[in-house]
């Protein structure tokens, strides 16, 4: 899309490198917009733009600063969240707020649905923010440090399902770490299986088994017992060719732990 309308691209792995700084300096930007970039943008880079640098964060700052924010939002059962444009400074997600849009988190929110809501907000908020910068009306609202909270980084291996947890927690976990992230996974024998979609089974008294034990297997999916005696109904998994049998045990660990 960018190339189609004549926007040039410069690829870098270090936004603060001399090569990157020289490239940005040659452009002479009025403002720098940082979206989806996890490195801290140093003062030298930020000062290359005459009007400063603006960052995007997928939370209602000052809450949920840091990494892995979309999965953490769902894992924590947050009722509301927000999309925030803020002025970058020397800290992490702590600069003054320019523009913020707060919205409700759906009961069955997935990482993908929440990600897409933030993308929609970016499309609408960025033009508004740029107009405010152009007219000199862009605010710099200080964040309330007393309300700040911090999210730790999540890695692909953190998607390992613990079947000893309650079924509601497991379905929430699957929703939180799925697409566009690596996904929730378990092990059947030596095979790693990704669980992409699962719901609570509505009849908690029908099946009796051990956590991680498959209770039924059908054409549309399979039921797995969880730690509270309730089952999750798995409807999408990878690879679909996995040989899953009734009463087999899905495990939270395997001798094959390396991320592919």
The predicted pLDDT at position 6 comes to: 76
The predicted pLDDT at position 240 comes to: 87
Q: Is residue 188 part of a domain?
A: yes
Q: Please give the model's pTM, rounded to 2 decimal places.
A: 0.91
22 plus 137 within the same structural domain: yes
The predicted pLDDT at position 4 comes to: 77
102 plus 181 within the same structural domain: no
Mark residue 171 as left, alpha or beta (left: phi above 0; alpha: psi -120 to 50; beta: remaining): alpha
36 plus 117 within the same structural domain: yes
Please list the ranges in the chain whose pLDDT falls under 70.
1-2, 253-260
99 plus 164 within the same structural domain: no
- CATH code: domain of residue 216: 3.10.25.10
Buried b or exposed e, range 208-241, using 16+ CB within 10 angstroms: ebebbbbbebeeebbbbbbbeebbbbbeebeeee
How many domains does the structure of the chain reveal? 2
- C-alpha to C-alpha distance for 189 and 210, rounded to whole angstroms: 16
The predicted pLDDT at position 7 comes to: 79
- CATH code: domain of residue 21: 3.40.50.170
The predicted pLDDT at position 170 comes to: 98
136 plus 233 within the same structural domain: no
100 plus 186 within the same structural domain: no
Q: Is residue 252 part of a domain?
A: no
**At CA 180, angle to CA 227 and CA 196, rounded to 5?**
35
Q: Is residue 258 part of a domain?
A: no
49 plus 174 within the same structural domain: no
180 plus 117 within the same structural domain: no
204 plus 189 within the same structural domain: yes
114 plus 161 within the same structural domain: no
What Cα–Cα distance (Å) separates residue 114 from each residue in 44, 61, 74, 106, 129? 33, 16, 9, 9, 22
Q: Is residue 187 part of a domain?
A: yes
| CB distance 198 to 205 below 8 Å | no
The predicted pLDDT at position 256 comes to: 38
The average confidence (pLDDT) of the chain is 93
168 plus 102 within the same structural domain: no
Residue indicated by tokens 């592919």: 260
Q: Is residue 250 part of a domain?
A: no
Please identify, among 151, 170, 199, the residue that sits at the C-terminal boundary of a domain: 151
65 plus 88 within the same structural domain: yes
Burial of 94 (C-beta count, 10 Å sphere; 0-12/13-18/19+): middle
Q: Is residue 246 part of a domain?
A: no
| Local structure of 191: helix, strand or coil | strand
Q: Is residue 11 part of a domain?
A: yes
Residue 53, domain extent: 2-151
Q: Is residue 249 part of a domain?
A: no
Please identify, among 123, 151, 179, the residue that sits at the C-terminal boundary of a domain: 151
């Amino acid at each position: 899309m960018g190339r189609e309308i004549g926007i040039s691209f410069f690829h870098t792995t270090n936004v603060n490198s001399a090569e990157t700084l020289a490239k940005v300096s040659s452009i002479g930007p009025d403002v720098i917009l940082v979206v989806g970039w996890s490195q801290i943008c140093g003062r030298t880079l930020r000062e290359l733009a005459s009007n400063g640098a603006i960052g995007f964060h997928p939370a209602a700052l000052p809450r949920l600063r840091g990494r892995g924010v979309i999965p953490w939002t769902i894992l924590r059962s947050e009722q509301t969240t927000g999309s925030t444009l803020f002025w970058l400074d020397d800290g992490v997600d702590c600069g003054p707020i320019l523009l913020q849009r707060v919205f409700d988190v759906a009961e069955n929110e997935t990482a993908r649905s929440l990600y897409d809501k933030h993308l929609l907000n970016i499309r609408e908020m960025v033009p508004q923010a740029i107009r405010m910068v152009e007219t000199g009306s862009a605010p710099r609202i200080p964040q309330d440090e007393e309300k700040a909270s911090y999210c730790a980084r999540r890695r692909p291996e953190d998607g390992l399902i613990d079947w000893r947890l309650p079924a509601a927690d497991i379905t929430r976990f699957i929703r939180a770490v799925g697409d566009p992230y690596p996904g929730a996974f378990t092990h059947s024998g030596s095979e790693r299986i990704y669980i992409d979609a699962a719901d609570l089974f509505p009849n908690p008294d029908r099946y009796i088994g051990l956590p991680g034990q498959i209770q039924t297997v059908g054409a549309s999916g399979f039921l797995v017992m969880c730690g509270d005696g309730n089952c999750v109904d798995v409807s999408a998994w990878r690879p679909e060719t996995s040989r899953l049998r009734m009463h087999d045990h899905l495990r939270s660990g395997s001798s094959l732990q390396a991320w592919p």
